Amino acid sequence: MASSIRVRATSNGDITEVQALIQHPMDTGLAKNPAGELIPAHYIQQLKFECNGKDVFVADWGTAVSKDPYVKFSFKGAKKGDDLKISWTDNKGASDTTTAKIA
């Protein structure tokens, strides 16, 4: 299966800009389906970005983050060709991991 995580990490030599898009329903547990039944909560709780053995950015998310979440941030201390590891876990215990090369 294709990874649920799409990442673009680009370095200008000093600062690395990271954009990530994750496919996930992010159900709040408050909405109903067309049959009138509650859709159980299903959302990503933690998303981690790791580079050179260090957590550079950790996101703790609740249900108020939009479906198919997007996040953007920048960090220093990495260079072109370094690996950026991205992983998430959701409230049902599911998870996914991917590694991107910084371009």
Partner 1 sequence: MTTTTGPVATRRLILQGAACVAVLGLGNLPFAAAPARAAANDKYPEEAFKQKSEADAIKALYGKTAEPSDKVKLDAPEIAENGGVVPVSVTTTLDKVTSISFFVAENPFALAASYKIADGTIPGVANRLKMAKTSNLIAIVEADGKLYSATKEVKVTVGGCGG
Which residue from 24, 18, 23 is spatially nearest to 100, judged by alpha carbons? 18
Q: Using CB atoms within 10 Å of the CB of residue 26, give its burial: 0 to 12 exposed, 13 to 18 middle, 19+ buried.
A: buried
Please state, in angstroms and rounded to a whole number, the distance separating the CA atoms of residues 75 and 21. 18
* From candidates 3, 4, 57, 87, binder to partner 1 by CB under 8 A: 57
Please state, in angstroms and rounded to a whole number, the distance separating the CA atoms of residues 57 and 90. 17
Complex with partner 1: residue 1 or 33, whichever CB lies closer:
33
Q: Which amino acid is at 78?
A: A
In the bound complex, what is the minimum distance in angstroms from residue 2's beta carbon to partner 1?
22
String marking each residue 6-25 x if it binds partner 1 according to CB under 8 A: ---------x----------
Query: What's 2's DSSP letter?
Result: -
String marking each residue 58-77 x if it binds partner 1 according to CB under 8 A: xxxxxxxxxx-xxxxxxxxx
Complex with partner 1: residue 4 or 46, whichever CB lies closer:
46
In the bound complex, what is the minimum distance in angstroms from residue 22's beta carbon to partner 1?
11
Binding site for partner 1 (CB under 8 A): 15, 26, 28, 30, 45-46, 54-67, 69-77
